[in-house]
Amino acid sequence: MTEVSLLSLVKSYGGAPALRGISLNVGHGQFVSLLGPSGCGKSTTLRCIAGFEEVTDGRILFDGKDISRKLPEKRDIGMVFQSYALFPHLTVAQNLAFGLEMRKVPKAQIAERVAKTLDLVQLTPYAGRYPKALSGGQQQRVALGRALVIEPAILLLDEPLANLDAKLRDEMRGFIRDLQKRVGITTIYVTHDQNEAMTMSDLVVVMFDGDIAQAGTPEEIYNTPATEQVARFVGNANILDLPVAASGAGMAEVTLPGGAALSVPAPATPGARLGIMARPEQIALADAGQGHLQGRVTRRLFGGGYIDYEIATDCGVLAVQTPANVLAGEGAAVGLVLDPARLWPVARDAAA
């Protein structure tokens, strides 16, 4: 197990920097996701750690040792590529053996370790097949096996599930997470899918525009996002722009259009305005006239186990998600109940 530290990592291709000095610490055996839209620098970060990109400035440490100037083949990493990058002219077993051959492992040991890893990724019956004779999910597991068989210091995964269909993606998500726990390897996972990042990770690192916007547990990122941008990227978010009526002891009391007051944990001065985030499932529906806020249902989408509503209120159109047993038709007047314990103030975007 290895600890990975990034110290003020800068990567520039001549124009605007792709990475603007990011720092991050990944603990022993942790599963960390780099999450962000395309072009945010998450893949560049991974390629810097792998050694495929030279860092412009800053350092990368594995267990305290600076490896930022080392060649990729000297870094002891296992990497899974989005395209899997299996060697098409080698069988599954030969693909797995490649890294061990490079490490000059004796032949008998290679056979043994390949067999063990094939078992781990459940591909033993396919050892003699060529990659093109395998399904997408099987190819994915070959790529995982090939990266793990060398027992690398860290495992890097670059959007490994992006090429799979939805059902297989869910399966592989669980498979990778279980495997990582079993092997106990420090893992860095790049994805643009917030669902993937949240379900699999110990730590989620949200990146925008070459910088880290927030790093935290999935719960922290979802429930207490640092900015409006993070709040919106990791899930559906209603942001209510409300005036502060009173404040004290780190709490602020905000007033809703109907006159109802709510207190949220934020330092603010009376008269200022606060952006308050409420997730769709944190808002409940009540009869008209009740609750904190009044509105009218403008859209109702039945989702099986839940119903998605769009409700026009004096605070703008809000998204609300309720269990499927709550029934309110389109056009119905409803009251909205906010959960004061889960409201969270977020810094508004400059553009908003």
- Residue of 25, 81, 284, 326 interacting with other proteins (CB under 8 A): 81
Half-sphere exposure of 54 (CA within 13 A, CB side): 5
99 in contact with other proteins (CB under 8 A): yes
Which CA distances in Å does 313 have to 242, 285, 298, 316, 320?
A: 13, 13, 10, 5, 12
Q: Which residue has the tokens 């797995």?
A: 96
Residues 6+ apart with CB under 8 A from 5: 23, 24, 25, 26, 59, 60, 61, 64
- Given the complex with other proteins, which of 67 and 150 has the nearer CB atom? 150
73 in contact with other proteins (CB under 8 A): yes
Number of residues that bind other proteins (CB under 8 A): 26
- Given the complex with other proteins, which of 96 and 336 has the nearer CB atom? 96
352 in contact with other proteins (CB under 8 A): no
Report the alpha-carbon distance of residue 231 to residue 181 in Å, rounded: 28
Report the alpha-carbon distance of residue 335 to residue 245 in Å, rounded: 22
Give me the phi and psi of 113, to 5 degrees please: -70, -35
In angstroms, give the least distance from the CB of 74 to other proteins: 8
- Given the complex with other proteins, which of 162 and 246 has the nearer CB atom? 162
> What is the DSSP secondary structure assignment for residue 332, as one 8-state letter?
-
Report the alpha-carbon distance of residue 32 to residue 24 in Å, rounded: 10
Q: Which range binds other proteins by CB under 8 A, 8-16, 44-52, 58-66, 322-330?
A: 44-52
69 in contact with other proteins (CB under 8 A): no
- Residue of 89, 132, 167, 182 interacting with other proteins (CB under 8 A): 89
71 in contact with other proteins (CB under 8 A): yes
Dihedral over Cα of 322, 325, 331, 335: its sign: negative
- Given the complex with other proteins, which of 76 and 170 has the nearer CB atom? 76
**DSSP states along 102-116:** HTT--HHHHHHHHHH
102 in contact with other proteins (CB under 8 A): yes
79 in contact with other proteins (CB under 8 A): yes
317 in contact with other proteins (CB under 8 A): no
Q: Which two tokens stand for residue 245?
A: 């009526």
What is the per-residue binding string for other proteins in 142-171, x denoting contact by CB under 8 A? Answer: ----xx--x-----x---------------
132 in contact with other proteins (CB under 8 A): no
Residues lying near other proteins in the complex (CB under 8 A) are found at 50-52, 71-73, 75, 77-79, 81-83, 85-89, 98-99, 102-103, 146-147, 150, 156
